[in-house]
Amino acid sequence: MSSTPFAADPSGSAAVPPPPWRKSARPTPRRPLSTEAVVEAALRIMAEEGLAGVTMRRVAQALGTGPASLYAHVRDKQDLYELMLDEVFADAPVPVPDPGRWREQLREHTVMQVRVLLDNPGSAEIAMRTAIPTTPRLMAQMDAQIGILRAGGMTLEAAGAAGDLLALYGTAFAFEQEMRGGPGQAAGTEEVSRRIGEIIGYLRSLPQGVFPHLAALVGGMASERVDPMRHFEYGLDAIIAGIERAAERESGA
């Protein structure tokens, strides 16, 4: 037997095809790494695993690269979070302030923002962690809101304070719904329902007359499913009514 090693390509020309039972390695096209690709991957992870699953290492893994490669496109995880939140609002309309219907606009704009957060579980937590957004879409939303408040006759300082109040209320509501497994957040619903059932049972076990108003309220919650958005909009209307009175005082009306 010859000791000459077997040549895979004796002719030295075309490569010898592999046998049909052996899979050959096929090159897979890799999408060029970009800020958009990083954000897109992070949003997919957030939708599937929650915000806690969005780490630089996990995003890099999803993109088939190393974590160090991401830092050429995002400064850090907080920067990535803000870019994710900006993308979440990609299709959100930006209203043009109308003095003739500023109250309705303010309500519609705030409800729209909350629904965007609820439709993208994890985004409300990002909003809570973000001091002042500096991405284009989020700044456009903030500018429109201030413009609506200014159209209602508020000073710039008052409009800023009212905008902060609305943002805090809307974001906190959406974040609470995430924690409770409410709209847009299926995970944890069973655990929350179980806990609420325990609390209702405890309140009902108390002697009659102890915390009667609280017991009546919680009892009503047990008898019918309360729409969280109805509660949110009640509070929103109360806030806007207060903003309107403040605007009237400033204008001397």
Are residues 64 and 30 in contact, defined by beta-carbon separation less than 8 angstroms? yes
pLDDT at 147 > cutoff 70: yes
Q: pLDDT value at position 80?
A: 97
Give CA–CA dist 28/37, Å, rounded.
17
State pLDDT tens for residues 93-144.
Answer: 999 999 999 999 999 999 999 999 999 999 999 999 998 889 999 999 999 9
Residue 207 has pLDDT above 50, yes or no: yes
Share above pLDDT 70 across residues of the chain, in percent, rounded to a whole number? 79
Please tell me the distance from the alpha carbon of residue 27 to that of residue 211, in angstroms, as a whole number: 69
State mean pLDDT over 178-193.
Answer: 61
Average pLDDT over residues 249-253: 71
- Residue 182: predicted pLDDT: 45
d(CA 199, CA 214): 11
Q: Nearest-CA neighbor of 250 among 106, 143, 149?
A: 149
pLDDT of residue 9: 47
The pTM score is 0.78
Which of 178-187, 195-204, 242-251 has the least mean pLDDT? 178-187
**20 or 133: whose pLDDT is higher?**
133
Q: Look at residue 41 in the predicted model and tell me its pLDDT.
A: 97
